[in-house]
Amino acid sequence: MKVLVAVKRVVDYKVQIRVKSDNSGVETQNVKMSVNPPDENAIEEAVKLKEQGLANEIISVSIGDDKSQDVLRTSMAMGIDRSILVKSQNTLEPLAVAKTLKIIIDKEKPDLVLMGKQAIDDDSNQTGQILSALLNWPQGCFISNLKIENNKVFISREIDEGIENLETSLPAVLTCDLRLNTPRFASLPNIMKAKKKPLETIDIDTLGIDTSSKIKTLKVIEPPKRKAGIMVNDVKELVQKLKYEAKVI
């Protein structure tokens, strides 16, 4: 089985982001960037499938500028065999990302596609679902458990009501929740080894698809700040405040 993992480079989850002063977007220059967290779970799952002997080749794909090489190197340090960078200067919307991935998938012919359930920058939560529909492959979203046996795929999905268990088959597109696994840290020797693994670069303009933006961002602003509250001295004061000041109990 061949597994393809889609990876996005995003502002690190620990960074307190800043809105640009001209309200055109969020400051991403000189900010720590990392692998999108649930994409790390997707990488980890692919590496586990290889360790279990279920996958024989695992590859990662990212779309972005040259700097996105770093997340691909990270994925290879975690155990991915080789990577593909689709070079694009523009930020792509989920539909364009899915169309781009489909072209790579048509060429690479993986049996399984894994990615995070959402990117923590634009929080769209769309790409896996769109890709599944474009490929006409089964869709499994927000998975927290995966078992593959004889071409059968058993997944547990995290839904608002609890857990949903589905059975499907390969090829499939699965999007990973944070509880699917615990991503490993890349060891220093593996980071060194990853530098020698193959990283292919493809220019997005050579793919012949429309990746232009369909949505215009008019402005990006800071959310309203909450007014500073007070510290209460004890439980009695807290309950009194909630009852007679806030009037919420």
| Residues in region 192-221 near other proteins by CB under 8 A | 213-221
Binding-residue total with other proteins (CB under 8 A): 81
Q: Look-up: residue for tokens 């088959």?
A: 169
To other proteins, the closest distance from the beta carbon of 16 in angstroms equals 7
Q: Which residues pair with 178 in a beta bridge?
A: none
Restricted to residues 20-79, the positions that interact with other proteins (CB under 8 A) are 26, 38
Restricted to residues 114-143, the positions that interact with other proteins (CB under 8 A) are 117-118, 120-134, 138-142
To other proteins, the closest distance from the beta carbon of 194 in angstroms equals 27
β-pairing, 152-159 vs 162-169, is: antiparallel
- Rule CB under 8 A: say whether 242 interacts with other proteins: yes
Q: CB–CB of 39/8 below 8 Å?
A: yes
b/e per residue 198-229 (b: at least 16 CB within 10 A): ebeebebeebeeebeeeeeeeeeeeeeeeeee
Q: CB–CB of 159/166 below 8 Å?
A: no
Provide Rg for the chain, Cα atoms: 21
CA proximity to 107, closest of 84, 126, 89, 127: 84
β-pairing, 33-35 vs 139-149, is: unpaired
Query: Considering only residues 32, 109, 196, 226, which one is a binding residue for other proteins as defined by CB under 8 A?
Result: 226
Considering only the stretches 47-55, 67-75, 200-208, 240-248, report the one whose residues sit in contact with other proteins under the rule CB under 8 A.
240-248
To other proteins, the closest distance from the beta carbon of 241 in angstroms equals 6
Considering only the stretches 94-102, 107-115, 185-193, 201-209, report the one whose residues sit in contact with other proteins under the rule CB under 8 A.
94-102
Query: Considering only residues 90, 169, 187, 201, which one is a binding residue for other proteins as defined by CB under 8 A?
Result: 169
To other proteins, the closest distance from the beta carbon of 157 in angstroms equals 8
